[in-house]
Amino acid sequence: MKKLYYAASLLTLASLSVLTSCKKDTTPFPTKSQSNGNYPDLVYTTPWFPTIADADAIFVSAQVTDEKTVIISPFKNEYEYGMAKLASGTGNFSTLLDGGAITLNDSVLAKSTALSYLSSISNFTLNLSNTARWHKAANGTDTAFTFTSPRVNPTYSYDPALWDSKWAPIYPRTLVAVPAYPFDTIPFPYKHRDSLNYPNLTYKGAVALYKSDSTTHSVDSIYNATVQYTIPIKNYTTNSDSVFIYMTDDKGFVYKRTCLPTVDSAAFRPNDFPTPFYANYDLATFKLQVNAINYQPAIINSKKYYFLKMASAIKYYQPTK
C-alpha cells in the first residue's frame, strides 16, 4: 500500500457560548512531533467544538469520520481521540489551568504549553464505542477523580462522501439599482424614456446595465433570501443535544451554525454569508464539519465540569497530494 503523508492539523477552538456567539479562540490544541520528520498516514483533523458559559472544565471524547480525495481517489478515515481544557475562571477559556495528568480510557492526553490537552496522535482507537472513562490526577487543591459518562454516543450518519460540493459559502448578489428617469424633455420621435434608443446617454447606459443584470433583477432580493442547499440533520442524528455545523479554512475563515437535532435540515441562503464578514475563503484548505454533541454536567471538586461526547463528520473540498 502506498504510504501517504499529511500534515497534522491543529484544533483551533471556537470561543463560543453554546447556541450563541461567534468569537474565535486562538489557542491551539497540541500536536505531537514526528521523530522521522514525516507525518502519520492518518490525517488527524480535530473538529471544532463550543466552550460553555457556565463550565469550569470541558472533557470531550470524539469519534470522527473524514473524507477527502487523494490525488483522484476518495479516501476515508475513522478515528477517535480525547480533548480537555480547564478554565481559569468559570466560562473563561481564554486562559487555562494546569489539570495535571489526564487520561481517557487509560490513554494519556498530552498537555500543550497553553495547558490544553489532546490524546496522542499515535493512538487513534480509544475504545470509545464501549465507554468514555476519564481520570484526572490530583493537582494543587484539586483532588483526583474518575468519571464515566452515562450518555450514549451521539451519531451523525450522513456519509461525507455523499456531501454535495456546493455545500460551501454562497455570497449575496450585489443588485444593480433600477435607473432613475432623467428630468428632461422627451425629444421627438421617442415616446418613452425606458427605450435603449433613448438618446440620453447616461440613462441609456444605466438601462443597459440594468438589463444585463436582468436575471438577478427578475428575482431581485428574493435570490439572496432563497435556500440554495440544505444539510440533513434529523434523520441522520441520534443521541445528540445539539448539532454544530462549521465551515473553515486554514487562513482564518470560520462560519458556525447551531441546530437542534430535531430539525429536518439546515438551510443555507446567500444572506447567511454577508460581506465583508464572510468575504473570502480558501478553497484549497476549505472543509465542512458537522458535529453532533451531547453534554453531561457534573459537580466535581465544587466545580461544574462538562463531559461531552461528539460524533464529527468532516469533508475536505480539494484533492490532497
Pairing of strands 57-70, 303-316: parallel
Give the pLDDT confidence of 98-147 residue by residue, as tens digits.
999 999 998 999 888 888 898 876 777 888 998 999 999 998 878 899 99
Task: Specify the pairing of strand 254-259 against strand 303-316.
Answer: unpaired
Q: Residue 165: what pLDDT? A: 84
- The pTM assigned to this predicted structure is 0.73
**Which residue in this structure is represented by grid cell 522521522?**
36
Rounded CA-CA distance 126/86 in Å is: 21
pLDDT computed for residue 212 by the predictor = 60
Note whether 310 and 61 are within 8 A (CB): yes
The list of the chain residues with pLDDT below 50 reads 1-44, 196, 218, 320-321
SS3 204: helix
What was the pLDDT predicted at 223? 80
Please tell me the predicted confidence (pLDDT) of residue 31.
31
Burial of 304 (0-12, 13-18, 19+ CB in 10 A): middle
- From residue 21, give the alpha-carbon distance in Å to each of 74, 120, 316: 35, 30, 25
Contact criterion met (CB below 8 Å) for 272 and 223 = no
Going by C-alpha positions, the residue among 57, 16, 88 that lies closest to residue 291 is 16
The angle at the Cα of 293, spanning 287 to 296, to the nearest 5 degrees, equals 150
pLDDT of residue 285: 85
**In contact, 74 and 91? CB cutoff 8 Å:** no
